Structure 1
Amino acid sequence: MSSATKSFPELISFLDGQPEPSIVMDAEYRIVGANKAYTEEFAQGQDVNGKFCYEVSHHFAVPCDQAGESCPLRMSRHSGQMHRALHLHHTPRGEEHVDVATAPIRDEQGRMAFFVETMRVVKHASSRPAAEGLVGRAASFSRMLSLVMRVAPTDAAVLLLGETGTGKELVARVVHEAGRNSDGPFVVVDCSGLTESLFESELFGYEKGAFTGASHRKIGLVEAASGGTLFLDEVGDIPLTLQVKLLRLLESGTYRRVGGVETLRSDFRLVCATHRNIVSMVEKESFRRDLYHRISTFPIAVPALDRRVEDIPLLANSFLQRVAGDRGLHFSAAALAALKERTYTGNIRELRNLVERASILADGNEIAPEHLDMESTLADPPPARRVSAALPETAFVVDSALALDELERRYLRWLLARFDGDRKSLAASLNLGMRTLYRKLKAAA
């Protein structure tokens, strides 16, 4: 009898004292033990000993890696280290997203004798239609969720990248709710709506009498986020002149209210989001490189809807639950097929609007393809506007096809004349850094 076998009862006894569901497996994927937490949450009191892990968790006939899934046991057996993966497991409540961590248990000779698999149900996302929160089961969604669950318990700054309407704010809320500061506030700052005059007063607050109309002290959003999460939505829209003020806050954690002299400190988790190509903005010098590196410790791509087409019926049914209430409304098979065939430039936001409009148009209890017609609410569509052939004398005009570099040279010379040689204003209008503009103007001369 090996030393590992002798100590097996002690291992199970130890795991029984842990709050997280755990099983012990041999190298052939067979379950040889389960702790009380696992039996209560996943097995409902049934004995899983002797069964294969993939049989119990996935209802597969073969190991996960042979069924197109990542297998943490196989990876752990190969590397001798702990490995994690996000899986969809069958549970007494139905399929759920489960964060799985597998680690080897070695005997006195250092050989891997058993593997302990610990499971945590992801309570912030659903693989079934849900009334709120993140919903999805596509591979691209699961990859994103896996990254979210890895970074959430840390203090790392998260940058969410994705097209408009992909649900970046919902993802940011999951980072907050699954993190250490979940009991604190979640404060959203819409950076696209902050003008230069409002930036400091909104973020940092102001003292009474700081300016005309400041009749009382106002707490800023940074101060309100202390002990929680500060979510900077559309951070790529912050003007270059204001980025240095944000960088100073993030570097030092300190700020002063407008009109105040006292240096204040705010301790918050930072999550940012943007639909812009922020790396390209850094190269064009329209976004500070040092600020980019400060906010992008852990970038996560939020997939567009065309990258998770298989989730469209799931999302549509979730939205229908939210807008139809107890009407008993449902989609026909043809309507769901039509939804999957559409192109969504507005991503999930567009799908949600489409479902809500269809629920209003449907008189019975079934949504049909005709209820999804975008033109169905336009009884008399407005005629297309005609474009006048007359052009103002100041228009930039070319009378034949040009090479792109020649077109750029002519356009820059025309713009420079329009700005009366004001290079600073010209650079701002083109969203270019001054050095880049000078280089292009030199080439255009």
Structure 2
Amino acid sequence: MRQIVPDLDVSSLLESVAYPAILLSDEYEILAWNQKYLDSFGELSEGQNCYQVSHGYDRPCDQAGESCPLQACRESKAKERVLHIHNTPRGREHIDVEMLPLKNRSGQPSYFIEILKPVTIASAETNGEQMVGRSPAFNDMLELIQLVAPRKTSVLLLGESGTGKELAAKAIHDASPNANQSMITVECAGLTETLFESELFGHVKGAFTGASQNKPGLLEAAGGGTLFLDEIGDVPMGMQVKLLRLLETGTYRAVGSTQLKRADFRLVSATNKDLPAMIARGEFREDLYYRINAFPIVLPPLRDRSGDMALLSQSLLDKLAGKASYRLTKEAVMRLESEHFPGNIRELRNVLERGMIFARSNILDLSVLERSLKNHASLGDIAKNEGDELSTWTDLKTQQRRYLHRLLQHCHGDKQMAADIAGISARSLYRKLEGE
């Protein structure tokens, strides 16, 4: 590798970087690279521009509608960071890009070191196990996850039902320093205060009727990993006090025990509810809200993820089909893009699963999608069809129970499908159907 910068051993500098790295001129020209870059992204030729190699652009990123870390670094004269999607030998991948300025004697950046850290918690190609997406809204969310994951900061995942909050929680855990520890999920919806406390803290023998032996709680199972409280807006008020005490002191007691235990976990919470509105109604503690909301991340609804429909749909089909192979036609994807999905990705999954049943081959074309969507009932559809019945509904609980019974009938008794469409857990569905 030729000497590029006077009085600077470029080769040793780049090889000392723990990630793929390249040296850039002020005009975006790639001047040098380390072996890790070659191993990850393939061979390079001197004189190529970074935007050509990484994106296939004929102009710098900021002139092609994206943020440009070199331009930002040039202006700030300090390290800059951005999440990009780069072309790689494996396809398109999310890359966490750091740009470092090398300044001349007058303090102006003359050269730049670009460090490229692969993001392994999400995919820019079809993937049945991870979050997938390429849209700006998805990338903004992913960048926030990348920023907060290395810390123990409490994260609150916000967004509509079906936007993938549990997958986002798993991504935070997988990108954390404690990824080798457990991630414990607690479904808060439908749990009574007593059951919630027993599940979370554990109990000792004789603590209550039926407690025939000591049982460790989920906090103990988390063991230095991540505790994910899904639908935290449903935590009973009495339990919110104990949860707040846990977060403030890091200690707890098993039900029926006087022994104080110390908890070691990273908290990630999620809800699709308006917690500030619940606070105003006296349904959620304000002090607990500020404890769990140290770093909020809003998951974008499907309608805001322009361009992700084809990628998401194919990923869902691959997961649903197992060893089989299904694909959507271009017209079918366009039809899905025009549809409003209040249940977001969860609702899209149901439509695609029905499409697989209706399809006579492994191709889901427009006619198959139209039939699948025709058999698709959203909350708005049912409310519209039942307009004449509104006058007969006596109260909200009765109205809710009638809706759920009709939805369950539509789903042919499949309670999990009905719960997914309604945007609640199966446990909540059982409870609401029973009128509790």
TM-score, scaled to structure 1: 0.82
The answer to whether the aligner puts 1:227 opposite 2:224 as a matched pair is yes
Residue aligning to 2:194: 197
Residue aligning to 1:144: 141
Q: Distance in 2 between matches of 1:385 and 1:159?
A: 37
Counterpart selection for 1:72 from 55, 69, 74: 69
Residue aligning to 2:185: 188
Q: Distance in 1 between matches of 2:209 and 2:266?
A: 33
Rg larger in structure: 1
Q: Distance in 1 between matches of 2:244 and 2:154?
A: 13
Structure 1 unmatched ranges of 5 or more: 393-445
Q: Distance in 2 between matches of 1:343 and 1:83?
A: 37
The answer to whether the aligner puts 1:210 opposite 2:207 as a matched pair is yes
The alpha carbon displacement at 1:283 in A equals 3.4
1:156-175 paired onto structure 2 within 5 Å:
156-175=153-172
The answer to whether the aligner puts 1:29 opposite 2:40 as a matched pair is no
Contact map agreement 1:181 1:269 (CA 8 A) in 2: no
Residue aligning to 1:336: 333
Residue aligning to 1:12: 11
The alpha carbon displacement at 1:209 in A equals 1.3
Contact map agreement 2:134 2:308 (CA 8 A) in 1: yes
Contact map agreement 1:4 1:107 (CA 8 A) in 2: no
The answer to whether the aligner puts 1:252 opposite 2:246 as a matched pair is no
CA separation of 1:387/1:376 partners in 2, compared to 1, >3 Å: closer, same or farther? closer
Identity %: 45
The alpha carbon displacement at 1:350 in A equals 0.4
The alpha carbon displacement at 1:286 in A equals 2.3
CA separation of 1:327/1:202 partners in 2, compared to 1, >3 Å: closer, same or farther? closer
1:366-445 paired onto structure 2 within 5 Å:
366-372=363-369, 373=371, 374-376=373-375, 387=389
CA separation of 1:258/1:29 partners in 2, compared to 1, >3 Å: closer, same or farther? same
The alpha carbon displacement at 1:26 in A equals 1.5
TM-score, scaled to structure 2: 0.84
1:224-303 paired onto structure 2 within 5 Å:
224-303=221-300
Q: Distance in 1 between matches of 2:172 and 2:258?
A: 34
Q: CA RMSD in A?
A: 2.2
The answer to whether the aligner puts 1:120 opposite 2:117 as a matched pair is yes
Counterpart selection for 1:364 from 361, 374, 392: 361
The alpha carbon displacement at 1:97 in A equals 0.6
Q: Amino acid of the residue matched to residue 38 of structure 1?
A: Y
Contact map agreement 2:85 2:92 (CA 8 A) in 1: yes
Q: Distance in 1 between matches of 2:99 and 2:17?
A: 15
Structure 2 unmatched ranges of 5 or more: 395-436
Contact map agreement 2:77 2:108 (CA 8 A) in 1: no
Q: Distance in 2 between matches of 1:346 and 1:72?
A: 36
Q: Distance in 1 between matches of 2:123 and 2:390?
A: 52
The alpha carbon displacement at 1:363 in A equals 1.5
Contact map agreement 2:351 2:376 (CA 8 A) in 1: no
Q: Spell out, residue by residue over 1:103-147, the C-alpha distance to the aligned partner (whole angstroms, 9 max, x if none).
A: 111234433221111111111111111121101011100000011
